Amino acid sequence: MMTKLEFLEVAKRKLLGDGLEPCTIDELQQLENQLERSLSRIRARKFRNLVFSQNQLFREQIEKLKEKEKILIEENTKLREQCGMQPRQASEEQEVYMDVETQLSIGPPERRVA
Per-residue pLDDT of the chain (114 residues; tens, 9 = 90+): 568 888 888 888 888 888 888 889 999 999 999 999 999 999 999 999 998 899 999 999 999 999 999 999 999 999 999 998 877 765 555 555 556 677 777 777 776 555
Give pLDDT, residue 38: 93
SS3 66: helix
Give pLDDT, residue 59: 92
Rounded to the nearest 10 degrees, how much is the dihedral formed by the CA atoms of 72, 74, 75, 81? 140
Alpha-carbon span 74 to 63, nearest angstrom = 17
Give pLDDT, residue 57: 92
Task: Tell me which H or E stretch contains 85.
Answer: none
Alpha-carbon span 48 to 54, nearest angstrom = 10
Give pLDDT, residue 88: 74
Give pLDDT, residue 75: 94
Give pLDDT, residue 7: 85
Q: Count how many Cα atoms sit within 13 Å of the Cα of residue 77 in the half-sphere of its side chain.
A: 12
Give pLDDT, residue 45: 92
Give pLDDT, residue 64: 96
The dihedral through the CA atoms of 23, 29, 32, 33 has a sign that is negative
Give pLDDT, residue 68: 96
